[in-house]
Structure 1
């Protein structure tokens, strides 16, 4: 879809200067600008910018160029597409950095999003083509429509809506490899430390509580993963000849995995920490529907659902190497391997959690089988201050945009680069905001964004930037 030719290019004209109360003028500007923003989102979704190396990386480069063009159109003159090499010497994916200097005495705000997307999976399983944006019942469907090209549009929209009334310095940083773990993120920050320095960092890559109720993400679980291998034989042997006194490696691996949780489904690894329970809870019926839990399956663990999702450890088997059913022979499998993913709450050090899990696996070697652990990725958890100046401004902006106060939420998933942002910019205030909702199905089939909610996100960010500017002026 092309942009409406009747809509002027460039930033939204300021029109009448913002009054003491900017809410209604900015609401009007947002509504006027939103059709063009939606068209821009559709154009971005059409670019299959999957950062997984098995896909054509020319599309990721095209996506970066498209984002850069949009930011220039929004009135930012200093726009670059940049790459750095990773620790292994391989070049990173293209990131877009666009800047407008701060007026005297005003803060600088870094606006983060990412333009790369997950693989679509089975195209035939989608209700409409994954890279052809399609509206149904007020939602725009397509890979990346929510995660995180809607985040790009949130930043773009706030800049257009404010136009010449933008009273803060802005740096827009749109990454191109978040969906593959941001392998060059820290080298990128190091190489461009001065260009990306900011007083406030807004990360538009999280979720709202539900449609009509905004959220500020105040905590994120960290990540530890590893592979555990169980070996019982030097080579496969006939199951009829040796089965009985010798258990196969798959059975022994299953016995080892079974020690990771107690009978209630809580993680049973000594040395893992929990954070305090959240003040809000998740309706069980809503969680079961959102997670597509099959009828009759019980939920695991004890305590509030939000605690189980946000502030307690969670341990999952996310991969298994063993003979497939179609290729199985009548032999005892000598070796089997599982990949474990451990989510850790704020307050837990990833290295300590890894050590605790590794010790548990060795201590519970089944029937003396040989256990080998191979360490994987580590990601730090995040806990934001609840009452910073930036947080107060965000709460006000969200309440104005939605007409209801935002909910403080945690996210069970990890955004490891936030810890890296804090490492490089320890004095910056980080706000994690949302463009998704529980029906967005980020990473899944039929990913979508609610268009009404996206419009509110744009308004909220414009109000936030305006409030930060006004607070600085006193």
Structure 2
């Protein structure tokens, strides 16, 4: 079957359905209404039924938006089963004054559409629907389609799959919450860094004291905290906490110019750290001060600060044990006595990274499929972000190969103002996923026969 012409014939309908889905503000964060999330759920159930899916279930978990779990039976007993994943909730729009058009009014841009969640992750759900339509509801494999409604905030579903392994049993998974390193460059993500949080506090006085009368001898909590935070990186900006795993990166990567543009680095401000960008972003650690409690500049009085607190976000190598990585940071901070003052260090949430196995039949089929979809040789990258559910799904189906690719690209502004998706990426992702199902079914049967 030649997939390109069939995909082209579907693009008009896929665009229309993407616009319908992206117009729904399905934000599953506290303080936002639940009705739009339910509306997006109902629309997807309708679209799945129209695409020929008959078995569709709703999974309800405590304090969690509904999860859609749909099944398409395998066409023959010797056909494999593939799990297709996506999420229909989105990030909040943030400051809408920074958007060029209303975030929930899908708006044409050159080669695509702009809107919150239109790339992350509604485009990839539309890819799954496109593949179902391309095969007229009868793909060459069995399918388990999992569309969750609270990925961005986190939920009880992250840890649920291992408790119900039969529901998620499969031979391979396509985790479609990723995309290409740049438009037109087919990309497999082969690693996700883990994440952890640590809070560090300093208390030195019972209350603020006049800086003229007491400054110079009274211990300033903010100065103590600043000295502590300054020990986390060396003179180059590399993480100075011992024992955090860092390795050379051998896959594809951004050019420095690409990264500066993507990160919005101002003027001639130098980048942080040394070594390749891949090491700094994917196969090595990063520590970011994501919040700090101290008197504001506008409200600051002439007083010695008695209390200061900072929240740190640690990202670590995909294979580093999350508790051990977090403990490395805690131990580093707890051992400090900046200006002779002890710190209070409190570990927070931590989540593992993920590194899928490569080299199996699904992986080989994906390489062929990505070449067919984009007409170019696939690249390999990792991600500094994390997808907690991947570990849960992998534990539920430990023998399944896990593939991460999709219709997003690194320039799509996910989680930022003016998020967009390109139609060229959407089309290529439909072709690639459809080709993967075809190639994997053939390889699976061949392997069984052998």
Taking structure 2 as the reference length, the TM-score comes to 0.96
Question: Residues of 1 paired with 2:386 and 2:132: CA distance?
Answer: 28
**Hey, what's the Cα distance between the residues in 2 that align with 1:471 and 1:260?**
49
Match of 1:170 in 2: 143
2:134 to 161, 177, 197: 161
Q: How far, CA to CA, are the matches of 2:167 and 2:226 in structure 1?
A: 50
The equivalent of 1:329 in structure 2 is: 301
Indicate conservation of the 8 Å contact 1:310/1:410, yes or no.
yes
CA distance in 2, matches of 1:330, 1:276: 48
Using structure 1 for the length normalisation, give the TM-score: 0.91
The Cα of 1:190 is off from its aligned counterpart by 4.2
Q: Which residue of 2 aligns with 1:147?
A: 120
Q: Deviations over 1:277-323 (max 9, x none)?
A: 22333211111011110012111111111111110101101111122
Range with bigger deviation, 338-347 or 411-420: 411-420
Give 1:240-255 correspondences, 5 Å limit: 240-255=212-227
In structure 1, the residue matched to 2:6 is 29
SS of the residue corresponding to residue 239 of structure 2 reads: coil
d(CA) in 1 for partners of 2:149, 2:73? 24
2:208 corresponds to 1:231: no
Residues 221, 344 of structure 1: 8 Å contact kept: yes
Q: Which blocks of at least 5 consecutive residues in structure 1 are unaligned?
A: 1-21, 86-90
Gaps of 5+ in 2: none
- Aligned residue pairs, count: 445
Write the mapping of 1:32-111 to structure 2, written as runs, cut at 5 A: 32-85=9-62, 91-102=63-74, 103-111=76-84
2:99 equivalent in structure 1: 126
Quote how far apart the aligned CAs of 1:191 are. 5.1
User: Quick check: 417-426 or 388-397, which moved more?
Assistant: 417-426
Confirm whether residue 371 of structure 1 aligns to residue 343 of structure 2: yes
Whole-angstrom distance in 2 between the partners of 1:236 and 1:73: 66
- Following the alignment from structure 2 to structure 1, what is the Cα–Cα distance between the partners of residues 330 and 197? 10
Post-superposition CA distance 1:239-266 (Å, at most 9, x none): 2221111242222211111100000010
1:333 Cα deviation (Å)? 2.0
Partner of 1:468: 440
Given the alignment, which residue of 245, 266, 275 partners 1:303? 275
The change in CA–CA distance for 1:307 and 1:92 in structure 2 (over 3 A counts) is same
Counterpart secondary structure, 2:405 = strand
- 1:392 is aligned, of 336, 339, 364, to 364
After superposition, the C-alpha distances for 1:378-417 in whole angstroms (9 at most, x for unaligned) are 1111112221110000000000111111101111111222
* Preserved contact between residue 80 and residue 141 of structure 2 (Cα < 8 Å): yes
Runs of 4+ in 1 over 3 A off after TM superposition: none
Match of 1:185 in 2: 158
SS in 2 for 1:180: coil
Q: 1:139 touches 1:448 (CA, 8 Å); kept in 2?
A: yes
SS in 1 for 2:437: helix
Contact 2:7 2:431 in 1 (8 A): yes
Equivalent residue of 1:391, what SS?
A: helix
Provide the residue aligned with 2:173 in structure 1: 201
Separation (CA, whole Å) in 2 of partners of 1:185 and 1:271: 28
Kindly indicate whether residue 378 of structure 2 is the aligned counterpart of residue 406 of structure 1. Answer: yes
- Report the Cα distance in structure 1 between the residues aligned to 2:426 and 2:219, rounded to whole angstroms: 55
How far did residue 123 of structure 1 move?
1.1
| 2:186 is aligned with 1:214 | yes
**CA shift digits 1:201-231 (9 cap, x unpaired):** 1100112021111100011111111111112
Q: Judging changes above 3 Å, is the alpha-carbon distance between structure 1 residues 308 and 42 closer, same or farther for their aligned structure 2 residues?
A: same
**1:19-67 C-alpha deviation (Å, 9 max, x unpaired):** xxx3x2x211111011101111111111101111111121111111111
Alpha-carbon contact 2:162-2:395 (below 8 Å) kept: no
